[in-house]
Amino acid sequence: MKKILLYSFLLTLFFGVVSCDKESEDVSTLTSYVTIVLDGDDVVFHQKGTPWVDPGFSATEAGVDVTDGVVATTPDIDNIGSYTLTYSAVNSDGYAGSVSRKVVVYSAGLSATDISGTYSGDVFRLDTNNNATRSFAGNEVVISATSVPGLFYISDWIAGFYNVGYGYGAGYAFTGYFEMVSPTEFRHIESSNPWGDPADEVINWNYDVATDVFTYNFMWLGHYDFAITLTKG
């Protein structure tokens, strides 16, 4: 499936040039930006250690194929993580533009157990700098399966602490990806939030298959420890 990322438009630049006879006023220049079309999905999953093959892209400028002029970045295939690839090009007038997609690099040999579903989340925060604590209970957290067994997306790592508990809104959820090797072995891949600081680490993972209770500690900014308990259903 092709995704057309909106970076194609006509830009008119107006230059007002002052002169005694006014002959050069209202001079304008019309330029066409490069339209870059990405093949595949907005988020691509790639197995660690395997060769990277870009899903593909094409580019045109005013109807002319300029695909060869696009410069594309690549993910680090040797380390799990979330990577933003940039596809950029400069048009004939020297104006640059770009589009992007996310690549999630995951490990081989993940668990076939599907833990996706809707959970009730309890969170307890300890600030190790001054022992300040705060907790919230019963916030909804959704864990979604991806096309890769054992690789999951979570709607909020910290169980609604800021977006629901503090009432900051959906933009303050700590979303991201993780992978499951076994009920006691997981790996943090990505955590995103409006402040831009990912988790320092996620520790003490455990998933109780019998009760569908998922627990872990989300460590953030060197001194925040969020203890999370997610209960399915």
Q: Look up the CATH number of the domain holding residue 84.
A: 2.60.40.10
| 70 and 146 assigned to the same domain | no
| 132 and 215 assigned to the same domain | yes
| 126 and 224 assigned to the same domain | yes
| 11 and 99 assigned to the same domain | yes
| 100 and 157 assigned to the same domain | no
Per-residue pLDDT tens, the chain, 233 aa: give them.
444 433 333 333 333 333 444 444 555 678 999 999 999 999 999 999 999 999 999 999 999 999 999 999 999 999 999 999 999 999 999 999 999 999 999 999 999 999 999 999 999 999 888 778 999 999 999 999 999 999 999 999 999 999 999 999 999 999 999 999 999 999 999 999 999 999 999 999 999 999 999 999 999 999 999 999 999 98
- Give the structural domain span for 86: 3-106
| 79 and 139 assigned to the same domain | no
In a domain, 129, yes or no: yes
| 124 and 98 assigned to the same domain | no
Domain boundary among 106, 131, 153: 106
- CA–CA distance, 139 with 122 (Å, rounded to integer): 7
In a domain, 93, yes or no: yes
**Token digits for 186?**
């997981």
- CA–CA distance, 153 with 193 (Å, rounded to integer): 14
Q: What integer pLDDT is reported at residue 4 of this predicted model?
A: 40
DSSP-assigned letters across all residues of 15-47: E----TT-TTTTEEEEEEPPEEEE-S-SEEEEE
Q: What integer pLDDT is reported at residue 131 of this predicted model?
A: 76
Say if residues 69 and 88 touch (Cβ distance below 8 Å).
no
| 178 and 127 assigned to the same domain | yes
In a domain, 112, yes or no: no
- What CA dihedral angle connects 8, 12, 13 and 16, to 10 degrees? -170
Number of domains in the chain: 2
Domain boundary among 62, 86, 106: 106
In a domain, 184, yes or no: yes
Residue 162 per-residue DSSP state: I
Q: What integer pLDDT is reported at residue 129 of this predicted model?
A: 80
User: Which distant-in-sequence residues (6+ apart) come within 8 Å of 7 by Cβ?
Assistant: 33, 34, 35, 36, 97, 98, 99
Three-state SS for 41-53 is: CCEEEEECCCCCC
Helix (H, G, I), strand (E, B) or coil at 171: helix
In a domain, 159, yes or no: yes
Best CA proximity match to 135, nearest among 227, 203, 67, 221: 227
| 85 and 31 assigned to the same domain | yes
AA letter at 93: D
Q: What integer pLDDT is reported at residue 27 of this predicted model?
A: 54
| 101 and 134 assigned to the same domain | no
In a domain, 111, yes or no: no
For residue 138, report the phi and psi dihedrals to the nearest 5 degrees: 80, 15
CATH of the domain at 149: 2.40.128
Q: What integer pLDDT is reported at residue 25 of this predicted model?
A: 54
In a domain, 76, yes or no: yes
In a domain, 185, yes or no: yes
Domain boundary among 106, 138, 159: 106
Helix (H, G, I), strand (E, B) or coil at 158: coil
> Using only C-alpha atoms, what is the Rg of the chain?
24
| 133 and 34 assigned to the same domain | no
pTM, two decimals, is 0.85
Please state the length of the chain. Answer: 233
Say if residues 31 and 95 touch (Cβ distance below 8 Å).
yes
- A 10 A CB-CB count for 129 gives 10
| 138 and 99 assigned to the same domain | no
